[in-house]
DNA sequence: GCTAGTGCACTGGTCTGACCAGTAGGCTAT
DNA sequence: ATAGCCTACTGGTCAGACCAGTGCACTAGC
């Protein structure tokens, strides 16, 4: 024994090499958002491949949210600024394929939101506090009239908290998971008979959370935010899964 | 005014319709993992499109991790069981494009791991406790000899905790973010002069965390786990970013 | 002079048809 | 019965074509 150890090789297709090269250029910043790729016919020359191969590479890059192409555009594909769209897509797939329950999703939101509040209580700026105030004001105005406006203001509050945490990963995951959760329940909330009471209570809870953030009491803000989210969604979680949510409330 | 309100339409390409249909079949379970798609030549008949169009659709599905095709395979593309590979890919892209710092990533791991511990303290089974014990044993054995084995045992411990949390989202995000973090620092740890001391201390910390989990003290386990991870990685985080990490330690 | 309209050159989306290397399974020769 | 070849497929790639849509330069009309 002891001969040279060989590594498994995998056949690398031509289009994958193209994906790698363009991906590298985008991620390294050599290709900035807004810039254009050469046209497909140019690229087939540059890479010495056929147009089909170029196109398959572009399809992959597009699926990853790095570029977008538009028929008829005299320029080539456009390099996109990063959006969590691809992340959102794969998380949605995850949710469907793995059969994620609403309870799991809400639980994850509780984790993210409480951590964001914990950090925000220490790191928030006065401007961010003002944003949170404004969001709660809009929630108050929207009550009894427009659930969509209420929900939007609610989202704005949580976004302000997430930004105040200064952790982009928290911000983006918050955004992604929230949109999945809202997709599952927003219709049911909008039609609920007791939605006005639910909204009023939610506003009160948000005020308490904000007070804790303002006071710099991170652990309290975190605890209250978990409670807030629990109360808001528990009615839509099957009874047998509620214990898992309560495990996050001390 | 007051005419019918029209909705914006977007041109839907043929390959997108194919992606949607196959995606739906996979996510709904109509196509189970391990099953095969018809061959590309069959699909072009079924969808009444050319092979290029079929192939572009398959490229997208492959980029999303739903199917895989292999040249020469007499069967068609294989439907894959869900893996977080696509999620991993888009998070890695996110990390690079948005310039996520190691501090942010570690902070996120602290959030996930502490939440997992909080839940695990209440929900863990005896089998899972045994797994955690075994993982720490392997960490002990690996010390002073093989950093890779130590790291693998460390990973196994955190995975056991994540599973004990019974939240798949936490498990998967843990896995994804951890692999990104390890990709950034594992080389530096393996070469560090004080790595043996670091490993010994880490083992002690893991023992304390496990004791808290065993005792059912979630808040304590959560706090200790944050401290454990902080100590393990703080040496690799630039001094000016450490404050953000410390914000998670009370 | 300026504007409104018209082509034109080029784009991406799709199609057709072809070739190649690789695979699996049946067939054949041993 | 088995070892090895054959064949009918597969996916990967290529070449060349057509179409509808786009932006821009040019032109006709004011």
Per-residue pLDDT of A217-226, as tens digits, reads 999 999 999 9
Res. A74 pLDDT band, cuts 50 70 90: confident
Of chain A, the end-to-end C-alpha distance in Å amounts to 59
Position of tokens 């794969």?
Answer: A90
Quick check: A144 pLDDT over 80? no
Give me chain A's average pLDDT, please. Answer: 92
B89 touches chain A (CB under 8 A): yes
B125 SS3 class: coil
Q: How much is the pLDDT for B121?
A: 96
Closest nucleotide to B76, Cα to C1': D10
Reported as a single tens digit per residue, the pLDDT across B39-85 is: 999 999 999 999 999 999 999 999 999 999 988 888 889 999 988 88
More confident residue, A227 or B192: A227
Does residue B183 carry a pLDDT above 60? yes
Confidence of residue A9 (pLDDT cuts 50, 70, 90): low
* Nearest 10 degrees: Cα torsion B1, B6, B11, B17: 180
Q: Which nucleotide is nearest to B71 (CA to C1')?
A: D11
Mean pLDDT in residue range A114-126: 95
Question: What is the average per-residue pLDDT within A202-219?
Answer: 96
Q: How high is the pLDDT of residue B6?
A: 59
**A127: its two tokens:** 């401007």
User: Is A244 in the B-facing interface, judged by CB distances under 8 Å?
Assistant: yes
Nearest to A117 by CA among A58, A157, A72, A74: A157
Q: Where in chain B is the domain with CATH 1.10.10.10?
A: 14-79
pLDDT for residue B153: 96
Is residue A16 scored above 60 in pLDDT? yes
The pairing of beta strand B78-79 with beta strand A78-79: unpaired
Residue B179 CA to residue B172 CA, distance in Å, equals 11
What is d(CA A169, CA A85) in angstroms, rounded to the nearest whole number? 14
The Cα angle at residue A150 between residues A146 and A152, in degrees rounded to 5: 115
Report domain A85-246's class.
mainly alpha
| More reliable by pLDDT, A126 or B11 | A126
Mean pLDDT of A101-121: 96
> In the prediction, which pLDDT does A209 show?
97
Helix intervals (H) in chain A? 14-28, 40-47, 51-63, 85-97, 102-123, 126-142, 147-164, 168-191, 195-215, 218-233, 242-246
Cα-trace Rg, chain B? 23
Rounded to a whole number of angstroms, the distance from the CA of B28 to the nearest CA of chain A is 7
In B2-80, the DSSP E strands lie at: 67-68, 78-79
Say yes or no to pLDDT of B229 above 90.
yes
pLDDT in tens, A228-237: 999 999 999 9
Percent of chain B with pLDDT over 90: 75
| A91 contacts chain B (CB < 8 A) | yes
pLDDT band with cut points at 50, 70 and 90 for residue A120:
very high
Closest residue by Cα to residue A176 from A64, A68, A83:
A83
Interface of A with B in 148-207 (CB under 8 A): 166-170, 172-173, 177
Mind listing the pLDDT tens digit for each residue in B92-134? 898 888 889 999 999 999 999 999 999 999 999 999 999 999 9
Within 33-62 of A, beta carbons closer than 8 Å to B belong to 52, 55-56, 59-60, 62
Provide mean pLDDT across the span A161-187.
94
B13 CA – D19 C1', rounded, Å: 14
Nearest-Cα distance to chain A for B61, in Å, is 9
Tell me how close the Cα of B9 comes to any Cα of chain A, in angstroms. Answer: 14
pLDDT of amino acid A4? 54
Q: Can you give the pLDDT at residue B1? A: 47
Spatial contact of B27 and B65, defined as CB atoms under 8 Å apart: no
Q: Residue B178 and residue B84: Cα distance in Å, rounded?
A: 13
Protein residue ranges contacting nucleic strand C, Cβ under 7 Å: A 37, 39-42, 51-52, 55, 58, 69-77; B 13-15, 48-53, 56, 70-74
**Is A168 in contact with B248 (Cβ distance < 8 A)?**
no
Q: What distance, in Å, lies between the first and last C-alpha atoms of chain B?
A: 60
Give the pLDDT score at A96.
Answer: 87
Write down the pLDDT at residue A228: 96
A19, A44, A90: best mutation site toward chain B, by most B Cβ within 10 Å?
A: A90
Instruction: Please judge whether B108 and A167 are an interchain contact, meaning their C-beta atoms are less than 8 angstroms apart.
Output: yes
> What tokens were used for A99?
């059969």
**3-class DSSP state of B217:** coil
Q: Where are the alpha helices (DSSP H) in B39-194?
A: 40-47, 51-63, 85-97, 102-123, 126-142, 147-164, 168-191
**pLDDT score at A1:** 46
* DSSP state, residue A36: B
Whether A218 sits inside 8 A of B250 (CB atoms) is: yes
Which among B26, B62, B119 has CB closest to A247? B119
- Residue ranges of chain B assigned to CATH 1.20.120.530: 85-246
Answer CATH for A14-79 from 1.10.150.120, 1.10.10.10, 2.40.160.210, 3.10.450.50 = 1.10.10.10
């Amino acid at each position: 024994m002891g001969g040279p150890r060989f590594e498994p090789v995998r056949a690398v297709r031509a289009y994958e090499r193209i994906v790698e090269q363009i991906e590298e250029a985008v991620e390294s910043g050599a290709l900035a958002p807004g810039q254009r790729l050469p046209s497909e016919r140019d690229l087939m020359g540059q890479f010495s491949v056929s147009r089909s191969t170029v196109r398959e590479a572009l399809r992959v890059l597009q699926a990853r949210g790095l570029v977008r192409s538009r028929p008829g555009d005299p320029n080539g594909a456009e390099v996109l600024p990063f959006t969590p769209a691809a992340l959102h897509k794969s998380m949605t797939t995850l949710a469907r394929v793995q059969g994620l329950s609403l309870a799991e999703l809400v639980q994850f939101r509780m984790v993210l939101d409480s951590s964001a509040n914990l950090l925000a209580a220490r790191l928030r700026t006065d401007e961010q506090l003002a944003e949170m105030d404004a969001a709660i004001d809009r929630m108050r105005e929207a009550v009894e009239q427009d659930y969509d406006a209420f929900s939007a203001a609610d989202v704005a509050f949580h976004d302000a908290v997430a930004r105040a945490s200064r952790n982009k990963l928290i911000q983006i995951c918050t955004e992604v998971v929230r949109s999945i959760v809202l997709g599952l329940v927003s219709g049911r909330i909008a039609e609920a008979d007791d939605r006005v009471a639910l909204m009023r209570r939610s506003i009160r809870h948000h005020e308490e959370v904000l007070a804790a953030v303002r006071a710099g009491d991170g652990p309290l803000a975190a605890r209250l935010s978990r409670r807030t989210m629990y109360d808001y969604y528990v009615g839509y979680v099957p009874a047998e899964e509620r214990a898992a949510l309560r495990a996050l409330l001390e």
